[in-house]
Amino acid sequence: MDDRLHKTYFPDDNIKNESHVRSMEQYKEMYERSISDPEGFWKDIAQQFYFKSQPQGKFLDFNFDVNNGPIYIKWMQGAVTNICFNSLDRHVQQGNGEKVAFYWEGNYPGDAGQISYAELLRKVCKFANVLKANGVKKGDRVAIYMPMIVELSVALLACARIGAMHSIVFAGFSAESLAERMQDGEVSILVTADGSWRGTKLVNLKEISDKAMEICAGKGQQITTCLVAKHLSATEETPVRNGTVVNDGGDCIDEATSEPGVRPCQHLKVNWTEGRDIWWHTAMASASEDCECEWMDVEDPLFMLYTSGSTGKPKGVLHTTGGYMLYAATTFKYVFDYQQHDIYWCTADVGWITGHTYVCYGPLLNGSTSVIFEGTPFYPDAGRLWQVVEKYKVSKFYTAPTAIRSLMKYGDSYVTKYDRSSLKVLGTVGEPINPEAWVWYHDVIGEGRCSIVDTFWQTETGGHTVTSLPGCTPMKPGSASFPFFGIKPTILDENCKPVEVGQEGYLVFSQPWPGIMRTVYGDHQRYETTYFKKFPGYYCTGDGAKLDEDGYIWVTGRIDDMVNVSGHLLSTAEIESALIEHQSVAEAAVVSHPHEIKGECTYCFITLCEGLEFTDALVSELKAAVRSKIGPFAQPDVMQNAPGLPKTRSGKIMRRVLRKIARGDKDVGDISTMADESVVELLFSLRPDC
Ligand code: WT7
């Protein structure tokens, strides 16, 4: 047994001595107050922010119990503020306008730029005016489908400034997924870019956007304006890219290249619909730099972000202004132990909640300097992340276990050739981290001197909920450890009884924290059913967890029909429905399956229509169907021919049996309720090599 996987690691003195929380006693004291006096705790924190008017009446008002009427959560009622003002204007007014807000690092090493707080504010005001000129008003939804460029943050902050809700769709989603989200969100304006390079792959965002707008139009929904940032095609009239001057290094060639190190730069031709499509730079050229904030009630919606739902239809998770602001800022400050001189880098895409909270709002609310990275960890080679760490002297770094696992495979030399002495805190998020990857992160990346923060949270929670803190928490590899301030976790069994130490149960939270989602856009009932119905009085995360004898929380993964592929939650029902749409497929059942790099992957059992053959060509078609319906990142890993599926007599597919078959585990458990037991043997005999 490798001792390093099971021992407890203590924060280094250098980190402890400068941190906001330096001992477990201090943590416990603050935590106790946050639970027993949440109003007082968060009221003190709210002092740091600007409010146009102060809260009146109850600072916290809520109902967490479905049996007591509708679920609602209201923090700081009556207060009026603007999160964009608090993220930008406040720092500029305090004399920090020249501080760098973002370093932008492009896909190709050498494509880089930077933007100060003052400059960012100027651009945000201009773009806010562009949105207004195109009819966007407070409460409207704006869809954003963009790569990791400064304009993405500009678009998001501009929406917040004028009180429009942003609905960002990750740029890896397909046209159909983008269309579905635009329809559900009832948007009429889309902000996108011409395209983006990810490693050696070109993503033609405008083409995908065109297709999505066409799908919407076919369903009677007109997207009346499409603003397009010109990112790939830096031309003479636009010698700047991403709003920042580019250090143009390397050869520029005009077509896709797969040669590492050669800058792939393509003058992408885009189709144009006059009257609808508008170039970002054209609109910005004439926009005014003055834009007064829309003063928002703290409970006014700030944004919605879609997340997979177990029924297959994505849910528009809705966050409001004031509570989200407090929570994003506070978790960022304590969990990364933010200090003035830090250079912070979160590798997540802004299209996911991690990017919303920890690339944009959290860092900006704290006035920090951070890196935005458009590329991938593997381009031009597996040392890219550490090269960027060296270049900017990154001190706080945040990434996903799947990235760590895949980089581990390339060996240590890609890491050690770069100087990582600036690093202090290393964060992980998205899925449970296996102790092997944790130890590699700690020992090799962090040279044994950095604190690791394993942060458990969700799109729904707005910010970190269970996490270690860099200066105080003794770290156990694989455990997210203790609740953040304001989070009161319990682990329950099916009957709503707390489980014993060491037993697995449902991870639930029994008190509202400021960053909790307030509703599902357009479907409050779904919000109540999904998160509050199973355990009245609690918010149910949908994750399993255990407590150990020292009180550490160990999150074990989803308990519902969701799969966590490389830190992205996917619904098995959504993949099944994409497969069933194929004319050759009679039935499909998708289950989660362990995967060395991705953590989990999807394993699909396919029942073909009578008389059809299960061929490689068909498998490729089915994979392509999922790519086009959901997006490339959702492509299934394993497809198995399943002439029959294990079902109960009432016709319900027995997924726990399918999970066993997928793993090749003959111990399938009780199958007495199965309609036709012979199916199990048949499926074992048809397992592909994987
Ligand atoms: C699900 C939420 C907000 C983070 C990005 C994903 C899993 C997340 C951890 C962790 C164990 C984790 C859970 C959760 N998860 N972080 N540190 N340890 N599991 O956001 O798409 O809303 O997914 O990710 O299963 O429910 P999301």
Output phi, psi for 603, to 5 deg.
-120, 120
Both tokens assigned to 272: 């144009």
CATH number at residue 259: 3.40.50.980
Beta partners for 455? 429
Whole-angstrom distance, CA of residue 336 vs CA of residue 15: 11
Print the domain residue range for 184: 123-294
Contacts of 425 (CB under 8 A, 6+ apart): 15, 336, 337, 395, 396, 397, 450, 451, 452, 453, 470
Ligand 1 atom closest to residue 542's alpha carbon, by position in its atom list? 26
The residue among 384, 366, 388 whose CA lies nearest residue 101 is 366
Contacts of 236 (CB under 8 A, 6+ apart): none
Specify the pLDDT at position 1.
63
The residue among 205, 206, 223 whose CA lies nearest residue 214 is 223
Both tokens assigned to 655: 């997924």
Question: Which of 310, 398, 456, 465, when mutated, tests ligand 1's pocket best, judged by the most ligand atoms within 8 Å of its CB?
Answer: 456
- H/E segment holding residue 556: strand 553-558
Is 467's C-beta closer than 6 angstroms to any atom of ligand 1? no
Is 554's C-beta closer than 6 angstroms to any atom of ligand 1? no
**30 within a domain of the structure (yes/no):** no
Is 362's C-beta closer than 6 angstroms to any atom of ligand 1? no
469-507 in b/e form (b: 16+ CB < 10 A) is bbbbbebbbbbbbbbbbbbbbbbbeeeeeebeeeeebbb
Ligand 1 atom closest to residue 455's alpha carbon, by position in its atom list? 17
Asked if the bond preceding 363 is cis, omega within 30° of 0, the reply is no
Determine contact, residues 424/393, Cβ cutoff 8 Å: no
Both tokens assigned to 519: 């509703």
Whole-angstrom distance, CA of residue 121 vs CA of residue 127: 10
3-state secondary structure 314-362: CEEEEEEHHHHHHHHHHHHHHHCCCCCCCEEEECCCCCCHHHHHHHHHH
Q: Ligand 1 centroid vs 150 CA: distance in angstroms?
A: 26
Whole-angstrom distance, CA of residue 144 vs CA of residue 303: 11
Question: Which of 508, 569, 571, when mutated, tests ligand 1's pocket best, judged by the most ligand atoms within 8 Å of its CB?
Answer: 569
Is 455's C-beta closer than 6 angstroms to any atom of ligand 1? yes
**614 within a domain of the structure (yes/no):** yes
Output phi, psi for 621, to 5 deg.
-60, -40
- Which of 262, 294, 326 is the endpoint of a domain? 294
DSSP conformation class of 169:
-
Q: DSSP alpha helices (H): ranges in 351-416? A: 353-355, 362-365, 384-392, 401-408, 413-416
Residue with the nearest Cα to atom 13 of ligand 1?
A: 431
Is 353's C-beta closer than 6 angstroms to any atom of ligand 1? yes
- H/E segment holding residue 529: helix 524-531
Is 299's C-beta closer than 6 angstroms to any atom of ligand 1? no
- Low pLDDT (below 70) residues in the chain: 1, 233-267, 690
Whole-angstrom distance, CA of residue 620 vs CA of residue 116: 47
DSSP conformation class of 653:
B
Specify the pLDDT at position 651.
74
Whole-angstrom distance, CA of residue 210 vs CA of residue 214: 6
Whole-angstrom distance, CA of residue 492 vs CA of residue 469: 25
Is 349's C-beta closer than 6 angstroms to any atom of ligand 1? no
- Which of 245, 270, 294 is the endpoint of a domain? 294
- Which of 294, 322, 357 is the endpoint of a domain? 294
Q: Which residue has the tokens 């309720």?
A: 673
3-state secondary structure 271-319: CCCCCCEEEHHHHHHCCCCCCCCCCEECCCEEEEEEECCCCCCCEEEEE
Whole-angstrom distance, CA of residue 339 vs CA of residue 363: 11
Is 108's C-beta closer than 6 angstroms to any atom of ligand 1? no
Q: Ligand 1 centroid vs 382 CA: distance in angstroms?
A: 25
Quote the longest CA-to-CA distance of the chain.
Answer: 74
Question: Which of 168, 429, 438, 467, when mutated, tests ligand 1's pocket best, judged by the most ligand atoms within 8 Å of its CB?
Answer: 429
Determine contact, residues 280/126, Cβ cutoff 8 Å: no
Determine contact, residues 367/344, Cβ cutoff 8 Å: no
Q: Virtual CA dihedral for 359, 365, 371, 376, nearest 10 degrees?
A: 0
Q: Ligand 1 centroid vs 115 CA: distance in angstroms?
A: 31
Q: Ligand 1 centroid vs 515 CA: distance in angstroms?
A: 15
CATH number at residue 662: 3.30.300.30
Is 346's C-beta closer than 6 angstroms to any atom of ligand 1? no
**220 within a domain of the structure (yes/no):** yes
The residue among 456, 419, 164, 172 whose CA lies nearest residue 291 is 164
Is 456's C-beta closer than 6 angstroms to any atom of ligand 1? yes
Q: Virtual CA dihedral for 205, 119, 345, 335, nearest 10 degrees?
A: -120
Question: Which of 327, 350, 405, 457, when mutated, tests ligand 1's pocket best, judged by the most ligand atoms within 8 Å of its CB?
Answer: 457
Is 431's C-beta closer than 6 angstroms to any atom of ligand 1? yes
Whole-angstrom distance, CA of residue 160 vs CA of residue 514: 18
- H/E segment holding residue 190: strand 189-193
Whole-angstrom distance, CA of residue 445 vs CA of residue 440: 7
**14 within a domain of the structure (yes/no):** no
Q: Ligand 1 centroid vs 599 CA: distance in angstroms?
A: 12
Is 555's C-beta closer than 6 angstroms to any atom of ligand 1? yes
Whole-angstrom distance, CA of residue 349 vs CA of residue 373: 8
pTM of the model: 0.90
Both tokens assigned to 407: 């980089």
Count: domains in the chain: 2
Residue with the nearest Cα to atom 17 of ligand 1?
A: 456
The residue among 552, 553, 576 whose CA lies nearest residue 563 is 576
How far is CA 80 from its chain centroid? 28
Determine contact, residues 272/493, Cβ cutoff 8 Å: no
**618 within a domain of the structure (yes/no):** yes
**633 within a domain of the structure (yes/no):** yes
Q: Ligand 1 centroid vs 521 CA: distance in angstroms?
A: 21
Q: Ligand 1 centroid vs 435 CA: distance in angstroms?
A: 17
Q: Virtual CA dihedral for 457, 451, 339, 483, nearest 10 degrees?
A: 30
Is 553's C-beta closer than 6 angstroms to any atom of ligand 1? no
Contacts of 280 (CB under 8 A, 6+ apart): 127, 130, 151, 191, 193, 227, 228, 229, 230
**519 within a domain of the structure (yes/no):** no
Specify the pLDDT at position 320.
98
**232 within a domain of the structure (yes/no):** yes
Residue with the nearest Cα to atom 23 of ligand 1?
A: 458
Whole-angstrom distance, CA of residue 517 vs CA of residue 324: 8
Determine contact, residues 209/147, Cβ cutoff 8 Å: no
Is 480's C-beta closer than 6 angstroms to any atom of ligand 1? yes
- Give tens-digit pLDDT for 357-366: 999 999 999 9
Determine contact, residues 486/513, Cβ cutoff 8 Å: yes
Specify the pLDDT at position 233.
64
The residue among 675, 679, 653, 674 whose CA lies nearest residue 590 is 653
How many residues in the chain? Answer: 690
